[in-house]
Structure 1
């Protein structure tokens, strides 16, 4: 019996318009910057038209990427609310794959923009095994004080009674063909908005470190510190951190070079350092593990893995010959691929947009016992 499990940061699956760009130029879309707009009513009308017209292409591409992942269970990040999830699943995904995800779960979390983690599931796996939800639990209310995680590094940007998870850690207790499987879905603190003048990733790392300590605490409290590694669990989502990256140098005229680099510090060590959870992406070549292209212009470009399916040691051992797939066909044409990795982009993909997302779906087939 096998389960196809995927994670995907779908990038701003929203039901709301953001009109703050009229008064705040930094929030205004670049296309709108080309026009002189004198009053707010005109701005709102134009911004609504711009967003509606671009959203259809974007969500068709998102649905194509999900269809290619062909997962039985899909963990999503950056979902506005259940209404947005239902509208996307029925209006785009179901129409494209013809076999929808009838089970949908979302709990409102802590994100200041209102984006949440969610899970959609088929009623059965591809080989006919029933997928049952036994229980679902949000951990959004946990504070630093609750788990004794407040420290000097956290105090730079937070208070003791602030919530640990910037979105949530959504816990789903499942049975797949009668076999137990526990899923944890997260979207950790972004690598921006640091109050320090240093590297934004390092400046926000203490928050992600605490989030992952909390995830580990939740799992060990559930199963027992000495027993968790022998259970069927997976931790999925956008970790907003990495332990290695592929540096890109060069330009379109001269060509590019690609150099893999390991990071000395990463919040992900909370999971990996003692083998508490296994990153099966390491079974792929070091140049071919990336799920996101990052660029701040020609002088700062790299590829890295932000999207993860972490497996318990037991699950990793049961599936030691399985390798995750990465769906990159929805990446915009500006994404720079290492030699030999180029893929056919979906129809209507643009240079920067429309695109399926700035992230790539990650999917893996797992056997359960």
Structure 2
């Protein structure tokens, strides 16, 4: 089974003048990200996304930053198919906790036996200590932890809190998310040493940046294996910053 994870960055479908159109492929971080010129490139960006996924030819695709099932279906039925990608009859995208509407999603050409959203879970639900100063009824996941079982394999699809705009404030939030995912896995596989599971997604922890202990250490230190460590160092990157020229990797398969 081939499995992929990809942050597709604001996959949003709108209907200006009644016609479907993707926008949001750019983050507005630089002036070139806005205006008519940027809007004209939205479709090209989405076609490139489709080409990457078609080339991956994965059996199961875990996505981040999909706005809703309508956007996912339209992307699948039009752009991905036009790019020669596989048919994914099983597609899921549930509302999460991201204030901007960016959700996690899953596409599979294999039957999905179980799908569970954990968007409403709190730290108290999981027996974890709440963050100081935060109410107990606040969801523990900034977006969601979508659990999906495909045959004997259970996937935990995540998109953790971004370090922007305040990396120091985001660290404990991301640490709590990592603890929550670990607790979900431990509850799921209790007593089964041969259980098959993976944690996938944009965990927003750049592996190449070492400034103290990583927020996701509960997952990576003595619990799960970072499969990307098996790839040559020059091929481990998944994100490129044009401004700095830096290659990094906020994405994981554990």
Instruction: Place the TM-score, normalised by the shorter chain, in its bin.
Output: 0.7 to 0.9
Specify the SS of the correspondent of 1:184.
Answer: strand
The answer for the alignment partner of 1:235 in structure 2 is 199
Say yes or no: does 1:209 pair with 2:175: yes
The answer for the alignment partner of 1:280 in structure 2 is 227
The answer for the alignment partner of 2:153 in structure 1 is 181
Say yes or no: does 1:95 pair with 2:75: no
Q: Pairwise mapping of residues 136-147 of structure 1 onto structure 2 (< 5 A)?
A: 136-147=115-126
Taking only aligned residues, the RMSD between alpha carbons, in angstroms, comes to 2.4
Runs of 4+ in 1 over 4 A off after TM superposition: 26-29, 49-52
Structure 2 distance, partners of 1:27, 1:293, is 16
Residue 98 and residue 13 in structure 1: after superposition, are their counterparts in 2 closer, same or farther (change >3 A)?
closer
Residue 193 and residue 155 in structure 1: after superposition, are their counterparts in 2 closer, same or farther (change >3 A)?
farther
Specify the SS of the correspondent of 1:230.
Answer: coil
Aligned residues of 2:118 and 2:146 also touching (Cα < 8 A): yes
Structure 2 distance, partners of 1:113, 1:172, is 24
Structure number with the bigger relative contact order (C-alpha 8 A, sep ≥ 6) is 1
Residue 107 and residue 115 in structure 1: after superposition, are their counterparts in 2 closer, same or farther (change >3 A)?
same
The answer for the alignment partner of 1:337 in structure 2 is none
Say yes or no: does 1:166 pair with 2:142: yes
| Superposition deviation, residue 191 in structure 1 | 0.9
Structure 2 distance, partners of 1:277, 1:294, is 28
Aligned residues of 2:207 and 2:250 also touching (Cα < 8 A): no
Specify the SS of the correspondent of 1:15.
Answer: strand
Specify the SS of the correspondent of 2:122.
Answer: coil
Aligned residues of 1:75 and 1:117 also touching (Cα < 8 A): yes
- Comparing 131-140 with 286-295, which one deviates more in the overlay? 286-295
The answer for the alignment partner of 2:132 in structure 1 is 155
1:298-353 deviation line (CA, Å, top 9, x unaligned): 5xx5322111111xxxxxxxxxxxxxxxxxxxxxxxxxxxxxxxxxxxxxxxxxxx
Return the index of the structure with the highest Cα Rg.
Answer: 1
Structure 1 distance, partners of 2:239, 2:211, is 16
| Superposition deviation, residue 56 in structure 1 | 1.3
Say yes or no: does 1:304 pair with 2:245: no
- Comparing 278-287 with 61-70, which one deviates more in the overlay? 278-287
Aligned residues of 2:200 and 2:252 also touching (Cα < 8 A): yes
| Superposition deviation, residue 27 in structure 1 | 6.7
| Superposition deviation, residue 242 in structure 1 | 2.8
Unpaired segments of 5 or more residues in structure 1?
A: 18-25, 34-46, 123-130, 195-199, 246-261, 311-369
Identify which of 211, 216, 230 aligns with 1:268.
216
Say yes or no: does 1:290 pair with 2:237: yes
Structure 2 distance, partners of 1:28, 1:98, is 30
Aligned residues of 1:72 and 1:121 also touching (Cα < 8 A): yes
| Superposition deviation, residue 112 in structure 1 | 0.2
Residue 98 and residue 191 in structure 1: after superposition, are their counterparts in 2 closer, same or farther (change >3 A)?
closer
Residue 86 and residue 265 in structure 1: after superposition, are their counterparts in 2 closer, same or farther (change >3 A)?
same
TM-score (norm 1): 0.61
Unpaired segments of 5 or more residues in structure 2?
A: 16-26
Aligned residues of 1:244 and 1:263 also touching (Cα < 8 A): no
Specify the SS of the correspondent of 2:113.
Answer: strand
Aligned residues of 2:155 and 2:200 also touching (Cα < 8 A): yes
Specify the SS of the correspondent of 2:49.
Answer: helix
Aligned residues of 2:66 and 2:105 also touching (Cα < 8 A): yes
1:260-287 deviation line (CA, Å, top 9, x unaligned): xx4432122111211x211111122334
Identify which of 113, 117, 124 aligns with 1:134.
113
